[in-house]
Structure formats: structure tokens, C-alpha cells
Amino acid sequence: MGTYNVPRNVKGEGRILFIFSNKSLITTCIGGGVGLIFYFIFNLLNLTIVGIVITLIFALIGYSIGMFKIPDTNGLEITRKTGGENIDDVIKRYIKFKQNKKKLYVYTKEEK
């Protein structure tokens, strides 16, 4: 009798705590770290609840940057050009574009 490989769904095996991928966990921690700075500032002003809320908002922003993709719609120009790409990849390209002093190099093949 022969052996057969049974296909498995391995999509969720790279996730931590079911909702976090490695990239989204890192960006959530970075966003939470930025939010903790605001928490300590507001804690000195006796506004602890405001600091906690701001920390959660920054952590949520970090999670969404690491997890979600830009929707592919034709309604807006930005979504037409970058639809379906990860948000963090778009942010990285934008930062590199700004560092190059807004120069864009296009290589074309000239026809004679």
C-alpha cells in the first residue's frame, strides 16, 4: 500500500496568539513603546487614563501597519497605485523616496 501526503492548511502556523504574525507583533510593540512615552508624560500630570488610551491607540496603529494591506479600489489615486500591498512596504518606499530628495529614476529602453 502506498503513502500519500495529505495537504494541510499551514497559513495560521506562523502566527502568535492567533491574531499576531511576527511582523504585526513587532510593529505593535513599537507602537506601544511610543505610546508608553506619552503614558509616562500623562502619568506625571495625573492623567493616567488618558495615557493608557493613547498607548492603546498607538499599539493599534502599529498593529494595523504590520497586519493590513492597502485595499485595491479605483476610487482614490493612492489605492489605484498601491492596492494590495502591505502598508509597511509603502511606508518604507515613501521614506526612501524622501531620503533621495524626491528623485525618481526610471530606466527605459530606447527604441530606434
Q: Could you read off the pLDDT of 18-55 as tens digits, one per residue?
A: 777 888 889 999 999 999 999 999 999 999 999 999 99
105 or 72, higher pLDDT: 72
**Which tens digit of pLDDT belongs to each residue from 90-111?**
888 888 888 877 666 666 776 6
Q: In the beta sheet, which residues pair with residue 20?
A: 16
What is the 8-class DSSP label of residue 86? B
Residue 11 pLDDT > 80: no
For residue 65, what are the CA distances in angstroms to 7, 27, 107?
31, 7, 31
Domain spans of the chain?
Answer: 18-68, 71-112
Residue 51: per-residue pLDDT: 93
C-alpha pair distances (Å), 94 with each of 56, 60, 80, 100: 26, 21, 16, 10
What average pLDDT does the chain have?
81
Q: Is the pLDDT of residue 4 over 90?
A: no
Which of 74 and 7 is assigned the larger pLDDT? 74
pTM beyond 0.75: the answer is no
**Spatial CA neighbour of 65 closest among 87, 33, 34, 95:** 87
